[in-house]
């Protein structure tokens, strides 16, 4: 099967395209991370432009329990774990290859004690988080995206926040309004190259 439409594959549990690792050098908050991406995983061989916008428009979070939602090969969560030594980061993704790559990247960076990637079903039912960071999978469709966000934002601690990056042309402004209507007051904290960086609170 060709990779002409990677969106078909990156949010499935077991992509059918042949697996091939591709190295990525990512600039994150002024630091360089060397990671492996792979076929069938979001943004193979590159740092996604939305994720790059997220790094440009934010600073690393305070120490705490962090969820990297839709972690892909792990760049957001691993950047946090690298630059915030007291952070305990969980990455989660439905894509088995993404989970594998994220954990392998954590091992290569010496971060396995503070970063772990798991499928959603392996996240403890009572786990809560100080912060959730995500470049969410907009292309799964609005109903599925809304269900995903409501499921995980409910795990924020009372004073917690979520930091999301969403393309303006993919509904970033309407998502901001919708999150507020669901009880998560949301403000735009940055805008870069057609992307909105949003901060949602309980």
What integer is the mean pLDDT of 51-59? 96
- pLDDT tens readout for residues 143-174: 999 999 999 999 999 999 999 999 887 677 89
DSSP, res 30: T
Higher pLDDT, 181 or 39: 181
pTM: 0.89
Q: What is the pLDDT of residue 41?
A: 84
191 φ, ψ to 5°? -150, 130
Place of tokens 């409910």: 154
CA distances from 145 to 3, 21, 130 (A): 23, 28, 21
Tell me which residue of 11, 12, 30, 22 sits closest to 46, measured CA to CA: 22
Higher pLDDT, 7 or 48: 48
Q: What is the pLDDT of residue 40?
A: 75
Q: What is the pLDDT of residue 117?
A: 98
- pLDDT tens readout for residues 130-139: 999 999 988 8
Q: What is the pLDDT of residue 171?
A: 72
- pLDDT tens readout for residues 10-52: 455 555 666 789 999 999 999 999 999 887 787 878 899 999 9
Distance (Å, whole) CA 111 – CA 105:
8
Distance (Å, whole) CA 87 – CA 132:
12
Structural domains of the chain, with CATH: 7-201 (3.40.50.150)
């Amino acid at each position: 099967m060709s990779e002409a439409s990677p969106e078909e594959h990156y949010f499935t549990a077991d992509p059918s395209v042949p697996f091939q690792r591709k190295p990525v050098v990512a600039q994150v908050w002024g630091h360089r991370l060397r990671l492996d991406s792979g076929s069938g995983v979001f943004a193979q061989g590159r740092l996604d432009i939305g994720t790059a916008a997220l790094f440009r428009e934010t600073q690393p979070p305070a120490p705490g329990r962090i969820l990297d939602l839709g972690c892909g090969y792990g760049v957001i969560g691993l950047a946090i774990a690298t630059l915030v030594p007291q952070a305990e980061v969980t990455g989660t993704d439905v894509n088995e290859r993404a989970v594998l790559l994220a954990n392998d990247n954590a091992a290569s960076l010496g971060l396995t004690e503070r970063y772990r990637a798991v499928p959603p079903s392996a996240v403890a039912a009572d786990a809560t988080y100080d912060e959730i960071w995500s470049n969410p999978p907009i292309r799964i469709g609005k109903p599925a995206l809304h269900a995903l966000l409501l499921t995980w934002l409910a795990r924020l601690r009372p004073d917690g926040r979520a930091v999301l990056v969403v393309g303006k042309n993919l509904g970033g402004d309407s998502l901001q309004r919708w999150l507020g209507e669901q009880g998560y007051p949301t403000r735009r904290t940055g805008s870069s190259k057609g992307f909105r960086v949003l901060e949602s609170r309980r």
